[in-house]
Structure 1
Amino acid sequence: MNKKTDLMNAAVHLFSIKGFHQTSVQEIAQAVDISKGAFYKHYDSKESLLIGILKRYQTETLAEMERLYISEDLGPKEAFTKKLAFELESVLADRDFFIMVFKDMPTGDNEHLTALMQEMRSSSSKFHQKSLLEAFGTDIEPFLEDLTIVVEGILKEYMITIILDNRQVSMDKLSRFIASSIEAITEQLNGMEAVFTAKDAGGELSINSLFADMETKIKLYSKNTTPLLGSLDLLRQELQQKEPRDFLVDALTAYLMQEKQIEKEILLLKNHH
């Protein structure tokens, strides 16, 4: 291994124990027997080191997913179960990384880091959506976002319980339990109403959902929270008028577009308007 890899491995271990903010560059450097000055020959900052760790994890995980062999003899549910087991085993094989992510991630402190975390989350969701469609067919499409959230929520809580509470469990048994639980939900969808289809319906609830998403992202990621939330509220009020003033809507959306985290929602809002 080279020094960059050594630094990554040492940082993951230290971040999992102490947290990102409580771990110093000096401690990371000492863990691999180099000076603090030598650290900066490899990484510009602690944040750039963390970005390197996340990119490595993403690259390795995607490669492992592509190599995952699913026998054609397996039925759709069995294939889904195998994918869940693979995901659980991958996390357990890298406990320090998982603990690091959930312990003290500097979300919102760094634009590149925030974007990478969102990209990783999106990639994971696409994998789960594809797996769900392959397992349960296109009839579940109206509920796909809801089912994806359910799967990811179940996986996350089991991972936290297993790792942080040091619980021992059969991955085969757990993956079958999760797959059967999702199957039971899909069998009841005819009598249910999807939660997240409102965003695509183009109605009043869709507008409210966009504003709620933007408000959440501003609170989580922005350093200019107060003026952005104020402008967002003014825009909401203006769009509720019978005849919104185009010049004011354009001015407010142009200002809000400076916050890259909500750019997509602003564009959707302008298209709807």
Structure 2
Amino acid sequence: MQDKKKQILDAAIRCFARKGFNATSIQEIVDELGMAKGSIYFYFKSKDDLFVSVIEYYGEMLFELMTGFPEEAGLPPREKLILQWERQFGFVVEHLDFMRMLISEPLTGLHPQLQKLMIQIRARSHLWHVHHLLAIYGDSVEDYLEDAAALFSGIVKPFFEAMLFEEWQFDSLRLSKFLLERLDDLVTGIIEDKETQILPSKDLKELRRLAGYAEEEGNEEMALLRQVADLVMASSAERDDLIQGDLLAALGLLKEEIVKPRLKNHFLARAMLALLKQHVPDSIMEPLSRLERSLSKNGHLA
């Protein structure tokens, strides 16, 4: 992002955090920056547009930290969750103004684009919780996903609020491990009790649509990715288990990149393709090359 545009976003966050969106004027934001008022309108059409851009930019930054990094591809699901929690806590500490604004600002009755964006953020957050629950606990949690996701989200909230409003200092690794142990307690209890789920099940396909993720069915890149994955599985005897695990993890991370709505991690996608090309046999190179060309054409490798 252009430096000047980011400076405006940062100044707007500070002003919105102090006074709220409605009570903050464009003049106060330019005073915070020490720049001409007309400069803001070069980048943003209105205060509403600026507010939407603030939520969008920092929201995407946070979700990038909540996804896997290349060096984490082969890690067990529990370790991935701990690392992603640690990054979330670090983001909160680094961007206290943004997080305080996001929690305290009433978002009803605002710009329609903002309402749509908040629906997207909530859908992506829910899918993130569901993804980790299924990765860690497998099929045993499927009948209790909504209750488990609600508890998953709820155990973290008090700690976020202590960080934001009480400026609580903590060991992020210790907290992440503690939260995972508590999540184990909650999910294990739900599964063992075998009670009927209280919250109604959500349509995950509809959630993906609301989150802005690409549809898997009919998607050229997803079809090519599935073809490559099938061939990698069929040729597993040609490589050791460690390499095979790395290749499957690379395919999983590529899938996550393909379905993201924007601000894709181009470095990660290129790294995963390089790993695949290094280890797959010649028989898989043709569909893998077609996948790479498709990803490049659609902006995943820009």
TM range (shorter): 0.5 to 0.7
SS of equivalent residue, structure 1 residue 197: coil
Q: Aligned partners of 1:27 and 1:171: how far apart in 2?
A: 35
2:72 is the counterpart of 1:80: no
2:201 is the counterpart of 1:194: no
Which residue of structure 1 aligns with residue 114 of structure 2?
113
Judged with a 3 Å threshold, the aligned counterparts in structure 2 of structure 1 residues 4 and 78 are, in CA distance, closer, same or farther, namely closer
Which residue of structure 2 aligns with residue 38 of structure 1?
39
Judged with a 3 Å threshold, the aligned counterparts in structure 2 of structure 1 residues 176 and 34 are, in CA distance, closer, same or farther, namely same
Which residue of structure 2 aligns with residue 142 of structure 1?
143
2:103 is the counterpart of 1:130: no
Q: Aligned partners of 1:154 and 1:104: how far apart in 2?
A: 22
SS of equivalent residue, structure 2 residue 72: coil
SS of equivalent residue, structure 1 residue 7: helix
Which residues in structure 2 correspond to 1:105-254 (within 5 Å)?
105-188=106-189, 189-191=191-193, 192-197=195-200
Which residue of structure 1 aligns with residue 52 of structure 2?
51
Deviation at 1:111, TM superposition (A): 1.0
Judged with a 3 Å threshold, the aligned counterparts in structure 2 of structure 1 residues 76 and 106 are, in CA distance, closer, same or farther, namely closer
Q: Is the 8 A contact 1:133 1:140 kept in 2?
A: yes
Percent identical:
26
Which residue of structure 2 aligns with residue 19 of structure 1?
20
Runs of 4+ in 1 over 3 A off after TM superposition: 62-67, 197-200
Deviation at 1:67, TM superposition (A): 4.9
Q: Aligned partners of 2:135 and 2:66: how far apart in 1?
A: 15
Q: Aligned partners of 1:101 and 1:47: how far apart in 2?
A: 15
Q: Aligned partners of 2:119 and 2:97: how far apart in 1?
A: 21
Q: Aligned partners of 2:187 and 2:151: how far apart in 1?
A: 12
Give unpaired runs (5+ residues) of structure 1.
201-273
Q: Is the 8 A contact 1:80 1:135 kept in 2?
A: no
SS of equivalent residue, structure 2 residue 151: helix
TM-score by length of 1: 0.66
Judged with a 3 Å threshold, the aligned counterparts in structure 2 of structure 1 residues 198 and 123 are, in CA distance, closer, same or farther, namely closer
SS of equivalent residue, structure 2 residue 200: helix
TM-score by length of 2: 0.60
Deviation at 1:146, TM superposition (A): 1.5
Q: Aligned partners of 1:107 and 1:121: how far apart in 2?
A: 15
Which residue of structure 1 aligns with residue 91 of structure 2?
90
SS of equivalent residue, structure 1 residue 106: coil
Q: Aligned partners of 2:42 and 2:201: how far apart in 1?
A: 50
Judged with a 3 Å threshold, the aligned counterparts in structure 2 of structure 1 residues 42 and 71 are, in CA distance, closer, same or farther, namely closer
Q: Aligned partners of 2:171 and 2:21: how far apart in 1?
A: 31
Q: Is the 8 A contact 1:26 1:35 kept in 2?
A: no
